[in-house]
Homo-oligomer: A and B are copies of this chain.
Amino acid sequence: MNAALLHEPLTRSVEDYLKSIYRLSQKGQPATTNDIAHQLDLSAPSVSGMIKRLSEQGLLEHIPYKGVVLTLEGRHAALRTIRRHRIIEAYLVAFLGYGWETVHEEAERLEHAVSEILIERMAEALGNPRFDPHGDPIPGPDGSVSEVVYTPLSEIPAGEAVEIRQADTSHPDRLRYIASFGLKPGTRVTVVDRQPFRGPITVQVGGQSHILGHEIAMLLLCARPEIAS
């Protein structure tokens, strides 16, 4: 019952695990060992080991062979890190000439090194934004998140016009590929054609049309006609 109050500083690794678990949990299910290992590019036994430690620290609940769910404290820690990450991204794009597709890597390292004070100064300099350059919501200092439901471009029916809100990947080469079509948060696109069976999607972007594979289209989260399949 100590850790909750006198929150000892978490290590870089711990922050990364919590962030990853938070992200995976957003899909409704408990996060699994394998998914975490895959996201963080670690072996499954490493994740098992860390889960044990985090569970002892009271940051998550573990049901063996089933998965993990963050405790309130774990969720708050995750949100603090995510807030840092997204404010840093917004700051680097706004003031230091970064592009939204290149900024992730830098923020990934800085998020573990900045003080609360610096983050609040950056947030202030930005006018306390609620969304980062990728369109992701920035949690408040108190841990409040504005939750948004987006639909993958791959599920938008032909004929529909939508707006790209975020690219659901942090792979730099994918981000660059996506950016090469002029697809970034805020871009308006019209789905011209959609082939069945995970086939390609044809979209119109600013007068030009492009053909996207299903895998890429799945990553492009959009707002927001009614959901159809």
Contacts and interface: CB of A to CB of B under 8 A. Distances in A.
Looking at chain A's contact residues, is the secondary structure mostly helix, strand, loop, or mixed?
helix
A117 B115 CA distance: 21
A130 B69 CA distance: 50
A96 B114 CA distance: 13
A93 B110 CA distance: 18
A221 to B, nearest CB: 28
Contacts of A109: 113-115
Interface in A107-123: 109-110, 112-115, 117-118, 121-122
Interface in A94-148: 95-98, 105-106, 109-110, 112-115, 117-118, 121-122, 125
A111 to B, nearest CB: 9
Given A97-B121, A121-B96, A125-B96, A113 B110 contact: yes
Nearest to A109: B113
A194 B126 CA distance: 46
A168 to B, nearest CB: 24
A51 interface: no
Interface string A60-94: 00000000000000000000000000000000100
Contacts of A96: 118, 121-122, 125
Contacts of A122: 96
A164 to B, nearest CB: 26
A146 to B, nearest CB: 24
Contacts of A118: 92, 96, 106
Nearest to A122: B96
A117 to B, nearest CB: 8
Nearest to A125: B96
8 contacts: A98-B121, A105-B115, A106-B117, A106-B118, A109-B113, A109-B114, A110-B110, A113-B113
Interface of A: 92, 95-98, 105-106, 109-110, 112-115, 117-118, 121-122, 125
Given A106-B118, A109-B114, 9 more contacts: A95-B95, A96-B118, A96-B121, A96-B122, A96-B125, A97-B121, A98-B121, A110-B113, A113-B113
